[in-house]
A and B are shown apart, each in its own frame.
Chain A
Amino acid sequence: MLSSVPSKAERMPLDDREFRRRQRAKNLLVGGLLLALALLFYLVTLVRLGGI
Chain B
Amino acid sequence: MATTAGARRMRQGIGAMEGGAEGVATPLDYWRLLKPNVMQLVVFTGAVGLYLAPGAVHPLLAFVAILSIALGAGACAAINNAYDADIDREMRRTRRRPTASGRIAPAEALGVGITLGLIAVLLMGLALNWLAASLLAFTILFYVLVYTLLLKRRTPQNIVIGGIAGALPPVVGWAAVAGDVGIMPLLLFLVIFLWTPPHFWSLALYRNADYARVGVPMLPVVAGRRATLRHIFAYALLVSLAGLLPAVIGSAGWLYGLTAAAAGATFTAIAWHLLRSDSDRVAMRSFRVSIVYLFVIFLGLVVDYAFLRALEG
Contact = CB atoms under 8 A, between A and B. Distances in A.
Contacts, number: 58
Main secondary structure of the interface of A (DSSP, over half): helix
Interface stretch (B56-64, B187-195, B220-228): B56-64
A47 interface: yes
B24 A40 contact: no
A41 B92 CA distance: 41
A37 to B, nearest CB: 7
**Count class of interface residues, chain A:** 20 to 34
Interface residues of B, number: 24
B292 interface: no
Given A4-B89, A4-B95, A47-B58, A14 B25 contact: no
Interface in B1-58: 20-27, 30, 58
Contacts of B61: 44, 47
A11 B22 CA distance: 7
B123 A40 contact: yes
Contacts of A40: 64, 67, 123
A21 B174 CA distance: 43
A44 B60 contact: yes
A18 B92 CA distance: 28
B90 A2 contact: yes
B30 A29 contact: yes
